[in-house]
């Protein structure tokens, strides 16, 4: 009796395995047929409907991957017999590169989630055994970078950080990916330890490219908060020791001194930056502002005993400030970067250049 029962159970198991094998093969066949139908449509599709075109590419890749997944299921004997690998490979090899453009197009035409899904599908396709030998044109890191950007905008910081890690494997975009990781850290700061970690990453980015204006702005933003645990001026002094020939730490020093109304120190720092990079309009403008405000402070502090000496100092400072403002006027005539008209008008008036001041009067912003 037991032998009969055992034989019956084995028969049931074999029939179950056989049925699963048939189901896997049928599903692989069905997915391949769907993919092939869409593939024909893509080849003959008008380019006028780009949204449908790119969505078809996504569907074709998705069905091809699902077909291959089922095609690789072993039969009842544990043997894998691929039946659709050639067709699936052809479609994936042809369409996978187009998923990058699909993501860019869809995400820029109000289909943000579809665009992100296209890049994720690129990553999934890149992991397929069918494409294991096609690494030459692999853009996995780029797809991951686009996903990281999208996730950062959606404030999905853990996901953004994870995809940024993948993107950092490509040297060409590693720096940009590191910026995403830094922004994720910044937006998740809740305690002192988080701040220390963020500052460490941001400082490393800054050291990698001391001329990068973005890193400079982030540092200013971080240190701009009223937090005594992090001393901006100590950081600046340290940067000047390591990068004395970079204009950025000098600008940072000038900005800090300017905020504290230490006009002479600020002007001196900005002048160092100007000598290193004379094309920065805001730097030249700030030198003029600092010299003008220094002259005003000296004049306001004058007494009968110091009036004459201070008059000579203020005249010299205002003349120097005028030179810097006139230089800004030449560099930025349409005031696209700074509004130089008002301070130049004031300096002209204070130095008795009323004719030149009159030329600017109509442009002064009230």
**pLDDT bracket for residue 11 (50, 70, 90):** very low
Question: pLDDT at residue 178 above 90?
Answer: no
Per-residue pLDDT tens digits for 220-248? 777 766 455 567 777 788 778 888 888 88
Share of the chain above pLDDT 70, in %: 89
SS3 36: helix
Mean pLDDT within 152-180? 89
Residue 45 CB partners (closer than 8 Å, separation 6+): 52, 53, 56
d(CA 6, CA 138) in angstroms, rounded, equals: 53
SS3 52: helix
Mean pLDDT within 117-140? 88
Mean pLDDT within 74-90? 82
Mean pLDDT within 190-194? 79
CB count within 10 Å of CB 254 equals 27
Mean pLDDT within 135-154? 89
- What pLDDT shows up at residue 102? 95
Query: What separation in angstroms does the CA of 295 have from each of 61, 107, 299, 303, 306?
Result: 70, 54, 6, 15, 14
Mean pLDDT within 84-94? 91
Gyration radius of the chain's alpha carbons: 33
**pLDDT bracket for residue 279 (50, 70, 90):** very high
Could you tell me the sign of the dihedral formed by the alpha carbons of 306, 307, 310, 316, in that order? Answer: negative
Question: pLDDT at residue 19 above 50?
Answer: no
């Amino acid at each position: 009796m037991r032998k009969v029962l055992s034989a019956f159970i084995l028969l049931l198991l074999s029939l179950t395995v056989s049925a699963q094998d048939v189901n896997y093969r049928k599903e692989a066949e069905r997915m391949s047929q769907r993919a092939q139908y869409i593939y024909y449509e893509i080849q003959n599709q008008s380019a006028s409907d780009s949204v449908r075109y790119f969505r078809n590419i996504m569907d074709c890749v998705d069905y091809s991957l699902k077909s291959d997944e089922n095609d690789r299921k072993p039969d009842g004997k544990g043997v894998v017999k691929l039946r659709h690998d050639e067709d699936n490979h052809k479609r994936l090899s042809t369409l996978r590169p187009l998923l990058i453009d699909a993501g860019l197009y869809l995400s820029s035409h109000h289909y943000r989630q579809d665009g992100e899904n296209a890049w994720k599908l690129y990553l999934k396709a890149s992991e397929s055994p069918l494409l294991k030998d096609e690494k030459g044109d692999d853009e996995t890191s780029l797809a991951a970078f686009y996903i990281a950007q999208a996730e950062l905008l959606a404030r999905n910081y853990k996901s953004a950080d994870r995809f940024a890690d993948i993107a950092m494997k490509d040297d060409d975009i590693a720096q940009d990916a590191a910026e995403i990781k830094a922004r994720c850290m910044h937006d998740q700061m809740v305690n002192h330890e988080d701040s220390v970690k963020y500052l460490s990453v941001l400082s490393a980015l800054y050291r990698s490219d001391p001329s990068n204006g973005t890193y400079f702005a982030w540092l200013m933003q971080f240190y701009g908060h009223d937090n005594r645990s992090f001393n901006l001026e100590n950081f600046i002094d340290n940067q000047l020791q390591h990068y004395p020939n970079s204009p950025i730490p000098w600008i940072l020093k000038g900005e800090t001194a300017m905020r504290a109304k230490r006009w002479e120190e600020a002007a001196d720092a900005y002048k160092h930056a100007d000598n290193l990079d004379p094309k920065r309009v805001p730097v030249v403008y700030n030198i003029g502002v600092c010299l003008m405000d220094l002259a005003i402070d000296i004049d306001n502090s004058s007494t009968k005993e110091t009036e004459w000496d201070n008059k000579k100092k203020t005249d010299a400072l205002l003349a120097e400030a005028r030179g810097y403002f006139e230089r800004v006027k030449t560099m930025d005539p349409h005031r696209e970067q700074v509004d130089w008209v008002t301070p130049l008008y004031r300096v002209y008036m204070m130095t008795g250049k009323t004719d030149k001041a009159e030329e600017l009067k109509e442009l002064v912003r009230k």
